[in-house]
Structure formats: C-alpha cells, structure tokens
Amino acid sequence: MQCDSCRNEAVLFQPTSGRHLCGRHLVADIEARAKRCIRSHHWLKTGDHIAVLISGDKKSAALLLFLKKLTAGRRDIRLSAMPVRTGTDGLATAMRVAESLQVPFIKIPRTDKREEATEDDRVTKLALAFTLDDIAREVLVQFLSGNADRLVHPPAAGSSGVPVICPFIGVPSDEADCYWDHEGTEIDLVPRMPAGDPLSRNVETLFRDYHRRHPATGHALLNIAEELSSCRVAEIGAATIGRDRSFPHGIMTEVTGDGA
C-alpha cells in the first residue's frame, strides 16, 4: 500500500484520518501533534531542564528522541534522560538509549539529598511517555471503578514537586512505537504493555476491541479527561504511572519530591 501523501510504501494505516502514511509523513504528523499539544498546555519555557523518564521501551525512547529534536536548537532549554528499572535489563537498556541519542542521563533524586542539587541541575519538568491509549484506558478504569472524581481532581505534585508534561498525549501507542522504528537508533526495543491490575487489563481489551470499530474513541475519551480535569491530563498520567507495578515502588514520589 502506498502512502496517501507520496508514492513511498506506507508503514501504518491511521484509522482516525483514513490515511496510509509512510514513515516520513507519519513522523511529521506525530511531531506536529506533539508540538501542538505542548503549545496548547504551555509546557515549555525558557530556562527549563526537562527530564524524560525512560524505561527501555519504544514509546519512552521515542519521546526522548522527539524532545531532543525539538530542543536541539535551543540553548535556553536543557534535556536529560532519567532511566528507571522496570525489569532485569530495563535500566541498562534505558541507559543505552540515552547514550545512543547522546542525551545525558541523571539519576532519580533521593529525597534525603535533594538539597545537594544546584540550580543548574534542578529538574523543572518531568516528561512522561503517556499516550492516547493510556489516557483512554485510565478514563474508563476510573469510571468503571466509581472513581471519576480522580479525573476531576487528579493528585497534583506537592509544593516541592516537579510539573509533569506528556507531549504524546494525543498520539496512539502504536504510532509512538513506529516513530522510534523509523527515527530511532538500532537498539532493539519492544513495546511496553501496562502491567496494572485485572480491571486495567480487562479495560485494555475492551478499549482495543471497541476502538477497532470506532477509531475516534481514544480522542473522545481524551476530550472528556481534558474537560473534567481542566486540562490537567499530565497529572492523570503521573498518577497512572505511579500505580504501574512495572515501575519501582514510589517512583513518582521520589521524582517529584512529594515524600520530602
């Protein structure tokens, strides 16, 4: 199948637009959506030090790559990778990704040594690879479990916390994976499926089945989350990753300083 924007071979069919896209046009489309999301939420500003949480999977590597490209020409914004252990080889793989992209990596700050960080080292934004699929699943989980108020009042970072940004919030997970496949380095990575509770896994199956028949479902659920949370979807993402058992216990508390 040919790309609908050129004569090159398509790598993905985009159900929401009805287009077949080659790698080059898919990358351009993803980057345009991510940039628009950043602008609409005012997620970047002069003097930012952005730390990207990477766990050795494709979509977090794709986010690191995208933000590197986005900030490449800006001397007023600093980018770092924050590798986390999510399995036997997860930490080592995450560090290899950062090294392959020539992005310096930093460790998760220890709350008992937070005062040692200098002004130049202090992280001002934490970037999470929270995608359209993730927010759609989270909205359904909270409604089905009777906790919709958690969408209206997502747990915010503490007074000493770091604001969270999610540039891929409007990008499906499979497209984020394709972004890495087309633009990334030769490191072999795999998609990472959520390792939540049985309800989350059942909702994932429900969502994927319904989404195949109704491609706009993910965006509709994203709009609901945006409206209910007053555009604080990044905080919903932080809460979700904080509960994900594939991440170390207390990961978001350690990063944001809520436990300090």
The reported pLDDT for the residue numbered 46 is 95
Identity of residue 190: V
Cα–Cα dist 6/60, whole Å:
29
The two structure tokens encoding residue 120: 């130049």
| Cβ atoms 103, 68 nearer than 8 A | yes
| Cβ atoms 5, 22 nearer than 8 A | yes
The reported pLDDT for the residue numbered 159 is 40
Closest-CA residue to 86 (of 97, 101, 99): 97
Residues 207-231: tens digit of each pLDDT: 989 988 999 999 999 999 999 999 9
| Cβ atoms 187, 97 nearer than 8 A | yes
3-class secondary structure, 64:
helix
| Cβ atoms 121, 147 nearer than 8 A | no
pTM as predicted: 0.88
The reported pLDDT for the residue numbered 194 is 55
Measured CA to CA in angstroms, residue 67 lies from 70, 82, 144, 179, 189 at distances of: 5, 13, 34, 13, 19
Which parts of the chain sit beneath pLDDT 70? 86-89, 108-120, 156-160, 192-196, 241-260
| Domains in the chain, CATH or no CATH each | 12-256 (3.40.50.620)
The reported pLDDT for the residue numbered 252 is 52
If one counts every other C-beta atom within 10 angstroms of the C-beta of residue 151, the result is: 23
Backbone φ, ψ for residue 114 (5° rounding): -60, -30
Burial class (CB in 10 A: 0-12, 13-18, 19+), 78: middle
